């Protein structure tokens, strides 16, 4: 497991609920000050003419630093916000917020030692021939250190921040409090069900033994694929809060976008691999890694291989749900509104008593979203304004109460996966023939035993 390392600030993780509420309140206050009254009103406006979220770089930096200091569930939410793209946040602000994907503050050495003593024993350092005390990555739930085991194995150790698992419930309670009283949520939204699903997911992500199980299950489902690489798990050095994996080489896949025209072929290849893998996960494996964080994917530029790193957010998907998505994809491609509406009701996008206007608004949004699936030949994500159109149309419907439904909770993280894949293709400015990749999965049923 490898992500480029650099010097980072080290700060103790705040673990008291009230101190975490304080930091969340400060971050929310910075956002409110940064946006101003007009910005807050624009953020929740149903006016399709609204442009970017006007948040100054200074305020974005303060929000990012505050969330990076907190780590945990609230930072995870900030990571999702940071993926919205430069056309929504503005290039400077998007770049600052993007640091949340891989640059949380690291633990002080005293806190790191305390965690490893508790997890691996008092003599934990003797179990390694080498141990780099400077983390190569620090994210929302833990930080990663490179190490060489006593027997010579080259490892990446993911070490969980202290108190993060215990703070998940209080963080989401605090977040719910802020959202309910901020005026940023539309009337009638089932906020509690969304937070409950986020709570379940984050507790799974904070169990590193479960993540090791998920990684091995995913590897078994993947089989022998020479273009996809997964790190192996080393159980003798793993615990519920420490995950030892192979150290693997590659560059963060989104950095291919910074290499200019010379990397165009690599960008297209990486995006095609990611898109095909997302469909295999849903339709073949029925096991989906739902965290779209860009830094979870590396690209081996020498061998043209995709490297997958993080499996804490892995979800098993019910076969019947897979088949609804298959029918929905086929209907979207064929322009079959009757089937598209029926699938939307099965997935909870539409309530039984949804009005004709609400039905029409949702179907228009779904048809817009599925544009790449109907496109003949490679779809040019770099030239497309689809994200902006979907974002502004979706925001309009969301805050005008024209979306009527409470989606099946399992779909929330699937959507996160698909949107993350779309955003990464967009970040790479890739050209991908999604219709060609998608077509085989629309024609056949899920493989038995996948």
Query: pLDDT value at position 450?
Result: 38
Q: Is residue 172 part of a domain?
A: yes
What is the CATH number for 211? 3.30.200.20
Mean pLDDT of 266-279: 95
Give the tens place of pLDDT for each residue, 1-12.
444 444 445 655
Inform me whether the pLDDT recorded for 413 exceeds 90.
no
Q: Is residue 82 part of a domain?
A: yes
Query: pLDDT value at position 297?
Result: 92
Domain shared by 75 and 149, yes or no:
no
Strands (E), 114-201: 128-131, 137-138, 142-149, 154-160
pLDDT cut 70: percent of the chain above it: 68
Mean pLDDT of 412-432: 87
Q: Is residue 450 part of a domain?
A: yes
Domain shared by 295 and 432, yes or no:
yes
Question: H or E segment at 219?
Answer: helix 208-222
Task: Select from 334, 342, 338, 332 the least CA-distant residue to 365.
Answer: 332
Query: pLDDT value at position 449?
Result: 41
Inform me whether the pLDDT recorded for 23 exceeds 50.
yes
Give the tens place of pLDDT for each residue, 299-317.
999 999 999 998 988 989 9
Catalogue the active-site residues. 291
Does residue 403 contact residue 351 with C-beta atoms inside 8 Å? no
Give the tens place of pLDDT for each residue, 244-253.
999 999 998 9
Mean pLDDT of 365-393: 90
Q: How many domains does the chain have?
A: 3
Domain shared by 213 and 279, yes or no:
no
Spatial distance between the Cα atoms of 262 and 274, rounded to a whole number of angstroms: 20
Which range of residues forms the domain containing residue 364? 252-450
Q: Which residue has the higher pLDDT, 366 or 104?
A: 366
Query: pLDDT value at position 142?
Result: 85
Query: pLDDT value at position 287?
Result: 94
SS3 content of the chain, % helix, strand, coil (to 5): 55, 10, 30
Cα dihedral 189→195→196→201 (10° resolution): 130
Query: pLDDT value at position 7?
Result: 45
Domain shared by 145 and 217, yes or no:
yes
Query: pLDDT value at position 58?
Result: 63
Domain shared by 417 and 291, yes or no:
yes
Query: pLDDT value at position 34?
Result: 43
Query: pLDDT value at position 363?
Result: 93
Mean pLDDT of 92-120: 73
Query: pLDDT value at position 157?
Result: 97
What is the pTM assigned to this prediction? 0.77
Q: Is residue 199 part of a domain?
A: no
Give CA 325 to chain center in angstroms: 20
Domain shared by 141 and 80, yes or no:
no
- The mean pLDDT of the chain is 78
Q: Is residue 196 part of a domain?
A: no
Give the tens place of pLDDT for each residue, 184-228.
555 555 667 667 777 887 888 889 999 999 999 999 999 999 999
Give the tens place of pLDDT for each residue, 43-90.
444 444 444 455 556 655 665 665 555 555 555 554 444 444 444 444
Inform me whether the pLDDT recorded for 390 exceeds 50.
yes
Q: Is residue 142 part of a domain?
A: yes
Does residue 141 contact residue 76 with C-beta atoms inside 8 Å? yes
Query: pLDDT value at position 116?
Result: 97
Instruction: Note the maximum CA span of the chain.
Output: 68
Q: Which residue has the higher pLDDT, 33 or 261?
A: 261
């Amino acid at each position: 497991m490898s992500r480029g390392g650099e010097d980072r600030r080290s700060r103790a993780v705040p673990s008291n609920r009230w101190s975490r509420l304080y930091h969340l309140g400060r971050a929310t206050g910075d956002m409110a000050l940064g946006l101003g009254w007009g910005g807050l009103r624009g953020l929740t406006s149903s006016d399709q003419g609204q442009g970017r979220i006007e948040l100054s770089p200074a305020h974005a930096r303060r929000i990012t630093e505050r969330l990076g200091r907190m780590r945990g569930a609230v930072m995870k939410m900030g990571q999702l916000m940071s993926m919205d793209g430069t056309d929504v946040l503005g290039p400077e602000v998007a770049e600052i917020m993007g640091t949340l994907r891989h640059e949380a503050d690291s633990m002080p050495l005293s806190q790191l030692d305390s965690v490893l003593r508790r997890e691996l024993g008092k003599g934990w350092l003797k179990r390694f021939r080498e141990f780099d005390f400077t983390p190569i990555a620090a994210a929302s739930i833990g930080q990663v250190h490179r190490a060489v085991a006593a027997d010579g194995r080259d490892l990446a150790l993911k070490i969980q921040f202290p108190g993060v698992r215990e703070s998940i419930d209080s963080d989401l309670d605090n977040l719910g409090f802020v959202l309910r009283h901020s005026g940023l949520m539309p009337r009638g939204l089932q906020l509690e069900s969304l937070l409950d699903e986020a709570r379940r997911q984050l507790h799974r992500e904070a169990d590193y033994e479960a993540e090791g199980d998920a990684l091995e299950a995913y590897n078994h489902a993947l089989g022998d694929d020479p273009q996809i690489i997964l790190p192996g798990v080393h159980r003798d050095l793993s615990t519920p809060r420490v995950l030892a994996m192979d150290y693997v080489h590659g560059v963060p896949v989104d950095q291919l976008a910074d290499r200019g025209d010379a990397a165009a072929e690599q960008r297209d290849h990486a995006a095609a691999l990611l898109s095909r893998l997302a469909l295999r996960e849903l339709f073949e494996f029925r096991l989906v890694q739902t965290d779209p964080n860009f830094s979870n994917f590396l690209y081996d530029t020498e061998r043209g291989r995709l490297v997958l790193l993080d499996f804490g957010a892995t979800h098993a998907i019910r076969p019947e749900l897979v088949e609804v998505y298959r029918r929905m994809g086929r209907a979207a491609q064929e322009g079959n509104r009757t089937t598209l509406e029926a699938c939307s009701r099965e997935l909870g996008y539409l309530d039984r008593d949804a009005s004709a206007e609400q039905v029409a608004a949702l179907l228009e949004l779904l048809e817009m979203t599925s544009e790449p699936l109907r496109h003949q030949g490679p779809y040019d994500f770099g030239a497309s304004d689809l994200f902006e159109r979907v974002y502004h149309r979706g925001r309009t419907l969301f805050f005008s109460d024209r979306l009527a439904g409470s989606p099946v909770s399992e779909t929330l993280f699937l959507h996160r996966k698909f949107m993350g894949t779309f955003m990464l293709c967009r970040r790479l400015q890739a050209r991908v023939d999604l219709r060609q990749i998608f077509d085989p999965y629309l024609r056949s049923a899920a493989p038995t035993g996948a």
